[in-house]
């Protein structure tokens, strides 16, 4: 996020990242700084909040256009269904920033994004494993097809323009109760006939996301867990482009 409105100033860029990889992200950025006068530093005095819209019509319009206590209050750049991102000083009064809001649990946030099929962080997008297009980053303002060269650009651009993407991250749900231990990441997902359909990536309760072959998403699916066969359903998010799942 750019933190100023004037293009004449040197930009202050605020980068949101998974806290578990903060050190490696800083090292990666400093590697490409070369001799530019760029300062890269963490901001432990800031807090990040997700502002999720309610179920009632008109909830979106109640969000204030500006708030003095908020360093940043902006629509989530990934998808409209994710509401807004709020960054404020630690200890800020959230009820003053967004009157009428209620502070939920972080697990509520994860359940919401899994329901919408939104991956986030290294658990959902393992470095060196997750591919940008299969992870739907092109739907979430996560890939530029017009900027200059970057690592993996040629393969990513060619695959995008050819339109041949056979696997995607999709939201999945389990209609039956799961063991308390949950579903391990990487658990293989099968069709009823035993064909490999994909792998479970991560989840919260009965909701999760899985990397699935699009050819099998409308079939009954299952996993083998602790000697039992557990059924699950995949769905295509409504916020996706209409032709995305073809």
Give the pLDDT confidence score for residue 59 in this predicted structure. 47
- Among left, alpha and beta (phi > 0; psi -120 to 50; other), residue 51 is beta
Please indicate, yes or no, whether residues 143 and 200 belong to a single structural domain of this protein.
Answer: yes
Does position 21 have pLDDT exceeding 80, yes or no?
Answer: yes
Domain assignment present for residue 196? The answer is yes
Mean pLDDT, residues 71-75 taken together: 90
Please indicate, yes or no, whether residues 138 and 230 belong to a single structural domain of this protein.
Answer: yes
Give the pLDDT confidence score for residue 58 in this predicted structure. 44
The mean pLDDT value of the chain amounts to 87
Please indicate, yes or no, whether residues 102 and 176 belong to a single structural domain of this protein.
Answer: no
Mean pLDDT, residues 20-27 taken together: 95
Please indicate, yes or no, whether residues 230 and 204 belong to a single structural domain of this protein.
Answer: yes
Does position 60 have pLDDT exceeding 50, yes or no?
Answer: no
What are the beta bridge partners of residue 190?
196, 222
Mean pLDDT, residues 157-183 taken together: 87
Mean pLDDT, residues 35-45 taken together: 91
Return the CATH number at 211: 2.40.30.160
Mean pLDDT, residues 51-76 taken together: 67
Residue ranges making up the domain that contains 182: 132-234
Phi/psi of residue 29, each to 5°? Answer: -65, -40
Give the pLDDT confidence score for residue 71 in this predicted structure. 87
Please indicate, yes or no, whether residues 83 and 136 belong to a single structural domain of this protein.
Answer: no
Does position 191 have pLDDT exceeding 70, yes or no?
Answer: yes
Please indicate, yes or no, whether residues 24 and 112 belong to a single structural domain of this protein.
Answer: yes
Q: Which residue has the tokens 């009823």?
A: 192
Give the pLDDT confidence score for residue 9 in this predicted structure. 66
Mean pLDDT, residues 2-31 taken together: 86
3-state DSSP call for residue 231?
strand
Domain assignment present for residue 8? The answer is no
């Amino acid at each position: 996020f750019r933190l100023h409105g004037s293009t004449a100033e040197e930009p202050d860029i605020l980068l949101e990242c998974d806290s578990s990889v903060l050190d490696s992200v800083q090292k990666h950025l400093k590697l490409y700084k070369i001799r530019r006068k760029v300062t890269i530093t963490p901001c432990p005095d800031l807090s990040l909040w997700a502002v999720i819209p309610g179920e009632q019509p008109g909830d979106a319009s109640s969000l204030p256009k500006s708030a003095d206590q908020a360093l940043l209050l902006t629509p989530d750049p990934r998808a409209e269904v994710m509401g807004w991102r709020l960054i404020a000083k630690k200890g800020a009064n959230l009820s003053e920033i967004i009157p009428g809001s209620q502070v939920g649990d972080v697990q509520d946030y994860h359940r919401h994004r899994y329901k919408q099929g939104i991956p986030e962080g290294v658990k959902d997008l393992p470095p060196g494993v997750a591919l940008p297009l299969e992870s739907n980053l092109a739907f979430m303002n996560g890939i530029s097809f017009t900027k200059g060269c970057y690592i993996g650009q040629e393969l990513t651009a060619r695959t995008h323009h050819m339109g041949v993407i056979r696997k995607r991250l999709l939201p999945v749900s389990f209609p039956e109760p799961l063991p308390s231990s949950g579903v391990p990441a990487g658990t293989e997902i099968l069709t009823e006939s035993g064909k490999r359909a994909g792998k479970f990536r991560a989840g919260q309760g009965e909701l999760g996301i899985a990397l699935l072959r699009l050819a099998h998403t409308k079939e009954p699916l299952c996993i083998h867990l602790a000697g039992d066969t557990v059924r699950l359903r995949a769905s295509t998010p409504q916020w996706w482009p209409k032709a995305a799942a073809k």
